[in-house]
């Protein structure tokens, strides 16, 4: 039987691009391999952006090709901020391309130098490109700053839902909501995901939560309670956003897996092998601090996973 939920590991992209250190390519490949061995079925392995802007991602095409060739049974995902990046991602063989569309105009201009309306037009071009070159690939939108913006402040929920509908109408396969700035709370998460699922049905996508104010797991659980079944997480809690000051890392994969498994909800992830992947991550970034309460405390005595 398939696991009950999908943990989408975003550390190799969201985590690595948010730190100054560049992980050597060989270590990236070993880390991705270890994550697959642990049971992660969807991994965002990099971002197709100019190397001069993010040297951490200069080897992204090589990482995608490695993951696709060695692990054809998983979903190899990459982020692309525009049509050019999407074209490179599809050429490299990515199974899914994620585009960042921000609900906050201030964040959108800072992050991709386009308004949200212009990004919807970019989406339409990417969908047309996909149809012509890689019709089997999936196109996903992570709706950034859906729960608030450190640059703009509050983001009206009606604006978030309106933009999500526009993205879906542009032809993408999924639209998820991202707490880019770590401003979300569980009541807000329930409201927005309930509305999103009501408007988009099966196109309503992942919950991408940050742990900036310690509410990451609570927000994931709130999303689960209203029907969300895909959750982004980053091993070791790496991540953030250079255009969202003060937004610390993503929900820690190890903690999220433990929470769901302890509740009897099958993630398909082997916790011991997930810790082995954490060792592979630390080997590639020996001076980078890693986070997580469960890795620090260890598993409870007699603990058994859901599966």
Check: CB of residue 278 under 8 Å from CB of residue 290: yes
SS3 content of the chain, % helix, strand, coil (to 5): 45, 15, 35
Tokens of 47: 């971002």
The H-assigned helical ranges of the chain are: 25-37, 60-70, 83-92, 105-112, 116-133, 157-169, 186-200, 216-225, 253-262, 271-284, 293-297
| Residues 6 or more apart whose Cβ sits within 8 Å of residue 233 | 7, 8, 9, 10, 11, 250, 251, 252, 253, 256, 257
Q: Are 162 and 200 in contact (CB under 8 A)?
A: no
Helix-helix angle 25-37:271-284, to 10 degrees: 180
**Catalytic, out of 149, 167, 220, 241:** 241
Closest CA to 254 of 206, 291, 306: 291
149 catalytic per annotation: no
Q: At what angle do helices 25-37 and 60-70 cross, to 10 degrees?
A: 30
3-state class (DSSP) for residue 35: helix
* Rounded Cα gap, residues 283 and 158, in angstroms: 45
Q: How far apart are CA 45 and CA 78, in angstroms?
A: 6
**Active-site residues: which are they?**
241
């Amino acid at each position: 039987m398939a696991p009950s939920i999908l943990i989408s590991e975003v550390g190799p992209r969201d985590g690595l691009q948010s730190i100054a250190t560049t992980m050597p390519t060989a270590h990236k490949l070993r880390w991705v391999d270890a994550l697959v061995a642990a049971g992660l079925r969807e991994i965002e392995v990099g971002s197709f952006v100019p190397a001069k802007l993010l040297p951490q991602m200069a080897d992204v095409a090589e990482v995608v090709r490695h993951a696709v060739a060695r692990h054809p049974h998983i979903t190899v995902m990459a982020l692309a901020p525009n049509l050019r990046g999407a074209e490179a991602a599809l050429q490299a063989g990515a199974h899914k391309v994620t585009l960042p569309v921000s609900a906050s105009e201030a964040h959108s201009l800072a992050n991709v130098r386009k308004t949200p309306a212009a990004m919807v037009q970019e989406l339409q071009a990417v969908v047309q490109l996909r149809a012509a070159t890689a019709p089997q690939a999936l196109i996903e939108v992570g709706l950034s700053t859906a729960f608030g913006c450190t640059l703009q402040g509050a983001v009206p929920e009606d604006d978030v839902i309106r933009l999500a509908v526009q993205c879906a109408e542009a032809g993408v396969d999924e639209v998820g909501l991202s707490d880019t700035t770590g401003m979300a709370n569980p009541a807000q998460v329930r409201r927005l995901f309930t509305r999103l699922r009501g408007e988009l049905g099966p196109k309503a996508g992942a919950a991408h939560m940050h742990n900036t104010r310690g509410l990451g797991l609570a927000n994931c659980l709130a999303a689960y309670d209203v029907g969300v079944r895909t959750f982004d997480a980053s091993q070791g809690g790496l991540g953030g956003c250079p255009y969202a000051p003060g937004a610390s890392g993503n929900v820690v994969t190890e903690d999220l897996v433990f929470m769901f498994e302890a509740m009897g909800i099958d993630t398909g992830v082997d916790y011991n092998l997930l810790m082995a992947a954490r060792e592979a991550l630390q080997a590639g970034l020996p001076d980078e601090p890693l986070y997580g309460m469960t890795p620090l405390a260890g598993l409870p005595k007699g603990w058994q996973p859901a599966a």
